[in-house]
Amino acid sequence: MKTVAALLTFFGCLLFSGAVLAQDPPPNLATDQLVGSIKTVEHGRIGYTFRDGKSVESNRTLFQKTNYDKDGNRTEQITYRQGGAISGRLVYTYDVLKRNTGYGEYFSLTGQALWDRVNTFTR
């Protein structure tokens, strides 16, 4: 009796796992917990100051921008430095079945102060 129950459990798990493997991968919008038709999401900070007793927007700082395609998959993700210069960019790639096959990474050193071997300040 225990052998029959064990076999039924094994085959039940096997059937369930096959159903899960056969499903299409969820789009990035679902894993990012976003709903609807979204093209771009920007993350940043907005500064506020008081003028004439009222709170008014003073400045905006963009930290990250993520772009999505019509299927809801990420196409690129750009990160920014505090001054607004791009610090990095990820470009996502997909196969014909819309499965993520990886991404290309691009980084920028522009806008950072560098010191060479003789301690000379360079840009």
Mind listing the pLDDT tens digit for each residue in 36-55?
888 999 999 888 999 999 99
pTM, 2 dp: 0.62
4 contacts: CB under 8 Å, gap ≥ 6: none
Task: Give the pair of three-digit tokens for residue 123.
Answer: 């840009």
CA distance readout (Å), 108 to 15, 87, 90, 120: 49, 5, 12, 21
The pLDDT value given to residue 41: 92
Helix (H), strand (E) at residue 57: strand 54-68
Residue 26 to residue 18: CA distance in whole angstroms = 17
Q: Where are the alpha helices (DSSP H) in 22-115?
A: 28-31
**For residue 107, which of 84, 88, 86, 91 has the smallest C-alpha distance?**
88
As a whole-number percent, the residues of the chain with pLDDT over 90 amount to: 23
